[in-house]
Amino acid sequence: MSHETNEHDHGCGCGCHGEKTNPFTELNPVLDHYADIPGSLISILQKAQELYGFLSVELMRHIALETHTSIAKVYGVATFYTQFRFEPVGKYLIMLCQGTACHVNGSKMVEEAIMDYLDIKEGETTADGLFTLNNVACLGCCSLSPVMMINDDTYGQLTKEKVTHILAELKEKADPLQATQEVTA
């Protein structure tokens, strides 16, 4: 199936009949792979988020069209699971564990240190597009509590000083201009 243009009536009401160029071509192999596998909507949404960083309304609409599913169902499934994001995230996504072990061992204090240092609240992204802070449930490495992940890296036994040091290092390493471009792309 060609995904370059979408020729069926996509019901947008704009009169374009879906003739716009497909802006989500990177997703084509995923859609092809799951085309004949029932119940694969969550897998498609996961792959889409991996590719684009978050699920925009346009992206969910595109998935609905390509999978012959209603947009309401795609949106309903996506919003049911906390793993899905609907806003762009920073270059560094901080996932701070608030599970029981981490909570007991000071995750709130770590959260405050992060919020103070980055001047954001939980769920927000810094103005330079570098960091997004999200609280998450148990990351599965409680013996290291309190724990956070930043993208794919795990940091354990966090203290105020340690977390500030980690963030300062990442800040120094990053190219803020590039980070902003990535977030707005």
Residue 125 as a binder of ligand FES (CB under 6 A): the answer is no
CB 30 within 8 A of CB 63: no
d(CA 166, CA 113): 12
Q: Are 88 and 184 in contact (CB under 8 A)?
A: yes
Span of 6-14, 36-44, 65-73, 133-141 interacting with ligand FES by CB under 6 A = 133-141
Nearer to ligand FES, 64 or 97 (CB): 97
Residue 115 or 142 having the CB closest to ligand FES:
142
Decide whether 33 or 108 has the Cβ nearer to ligand FES: 108
Does 134 help bind ligand FES (rule: CB under 6 A)? no
Q: Report whether 136 contacts 103 (CB < 8 A).
A: no
Nearest to 93, CA basis, from 118, 130, 63, 67: 130
Q: Which is nearer to ligand FES, 79 or 159 (CB)?
A: 159
Q: Which two tokens stand for residue 130?
A: 């570098």
User: Residues 56, 45: contact at Cβ < 8 Å?
Assistant: no
Question: Is 147 among the residues that bind ligand FES (CB under 6 A)?
Answer: yes
Q: Which stretch binds ligand FES (CB under 6 A): 18-26, 53-61, 97-105, 166-174?
A: 97-105
Question: Burial level of 97, CB count in 10 A (0-12/13-18/19+)?
Answer: buried
For the bound state, the minimum distance from the C-beta of residue 102 to ligand FES, rounded and expressed in Å, comes to 3
> Taking CB under 6 A as the rule, does residue 141 contact ligand FES?
yes
By CB under 6 A, is residue 170 in contact with ligand FES? no
Beta-bridged to residue 135, according to DSSP, are 96
Among 41, 93, 101, 115, binds ligand FES (CB under 6 A): 101
Query: What is the rounded distance in angstroms from the CA atom of residue 26 to the CA atom of residue 71?
Result: 20
Residues lying near ligand FES in the complex (CB under 6 A) are found at: 97, 99-102, 138-142, 145, 147
